[in-house]
Amino acid sequence: MAIELNRDNYEEVTGEKGQVVLVDFWGPKCAPCLALMPAVAELEKQYEGRVKITKLDSTGNRMLCAKLRVMGLPTFIIYKDGDEKERLSGEGLTIENIKEALDNVLST
């Protein structure tokens, strides 16, 4: 089950050394976000032990989203060792795009 992020735990979870973290920024009224949810849940199984999958509901965390410059949904940010390595966003985003970005970050 994906870890729910908020302003209180965001930096702690994404800042872990030795860890790759995928953050799924979503909203309950975002149709592309909702369409990707089942596939993102599958990523948890495929990348178990290698990537920590997390979710952040943008509706309850607007200030954090603004601080992180997340201006559109869906947005995915991949962190490695606490540093942002990849950012993907837009309506045309596919699970294949996300997998490719994860594989690239894992291989570096």
Q: Find the catalytic residue in 20, 23, 33, 53.
A: 33
Tell me, what amino acid is at 79? Answer: Y
Residue 36 CB contacts under 8 Å (≥ 6 apart), including other chains: 24, 26, 74, 93, 95
Q: Find the catalytic residue in 20, 22, 30, 53.
A: 30
Does the active-site annotation cover 30?
yes
Kind of pairing between the strands at 20-26 and 51-57: parallel
Catalytic residue numbers, as ranges: 30, 33
